[in-house]
Amino acid sequence: MSRAWVVWLGCALWVGSSPAPADGYFKCETPQGVEYADAPCIGDAKRRDFPNQEEREQRRAEQQRFAACFRPSRSFEPGDKASDLAELCGTPRRVRRLTTVRGAEERWEYRQGQGAAYVWVDDGVITAIRD
């Protein structure tokens, strides 16, 4: 046997013999903070489960949806359907109907932190956005 083969076999046996907990790893919340261990939480520590892949993907999608609604101009532009914005961000906080030289249009207001995002809609189509 060559020396490389022996080294590889030794590493494989070493990794295979390392103790792997049957329950995986534990994320314990203690008074000092969060600790990670390979043994169950002890004392008054509470076990916190790791989120599974589906939960992480749902949380990421929710964060992306929030970001798109926080700054609509990054996801939508004039000419897009207002129904797509409403489907993604929900109903606006306030809808004001305005009469202009071109006719009637709506101004949709979405709340964002201290300010608001305004989307002007004419006949179901976005005409302008101000974040």
Threshold 0.75, pTM exceeds:
no
- Residue 82's domain is classified under what CATH number? 3.30.1450.10
Domain that holds residue 97: 74-130
Intervals of the chain under pLDDT 50: 20-22
> How many structural domains comprise the chain?
1
Does 84 fall in a domain? Answer: yes
Does 65 fall in a domain? Answer: no
Q: Rounded to whole angstroms, how far apart are CA atoms 22 and 121?
A: 57
Does 46 fall in a domain? Answer: no
Does 44 fall in a domain? Answer: no
Q: How high is the pLDDT of residue 95?
A: 94
Does 43 fall in a domain? Answer: no
